[in-house]
Amino acid sequence: MKADFESVGKRLPYVEPEGYVEDLVERCATRALHSRKATPSSDSSRLPRRIGIAVTSMAAALLAAAIIFPAITKSINPDRVTVETIAQSQTLGDVLSTLSNDELAAIEYYSFDEMPTSDYDDSEE
């Protein structure tokens, strides 16, 4: 065989039956026309669908955040104690009972007369 491909010409080593390709093309055209008619894709029909997708996505994201965020917080600080929690659960007596005698002695209580008053106190002297 010559090394020149021109001698082979443009034939391919396979053929399709007579008229097959023309029929295939015709079928493809018909299907394309049918599929276009079955699924009209005008902008007016696409817009509400896009809005729907955007709203659904946002709602899903918010829901996920609402579920995941507290779960993450709880896993990071399972014994989370806030100032409010202490104030609600411990009386002054409970707090004072945890102090040593020296610490108690170091606390200087105000006498009634020494109680600080507000600068905006409207009582008459």
Name the nearest CA neighbour of 60 among 50, 70, 68, 71: 68
Q: 39-68 mask for another protein (x: CB under 8 A)?
A: --x---------------------------
Name the nearest CA neighbour of 27 among 19, 38, 37: 19
Site for another protein in 14-33 (CB under 8 A): 14, 16, 21-22, 24-26, 28-29, 31-33
* Closer residue to another protein (CB): 47 or 96: 47
Q: Do 79 and 71 form a contact (C-beta atoms < 8 A)?
A: no
Please report where in the chains the tokens 């097959």 appear, as a residue: 20
The tokens describing 28, both together, are 């493809």
The residue within the footprint of another protein, chosen from 4, 84, 108, 113 (CB under 8 A), is: 4
Name the nearest CA neighbour of 104 among 113, 115, 93, 114: 93
The residue within the footprint of another protein, chosen from 1, 76, 87, 115 (CB under 8 A), is: 1
Chain positions contacting another protein, by CB under 8 A: 1-5, 7-8, 10-14, 16, 21-22, 24-26, 28-29, 31-33, 35-36, 41
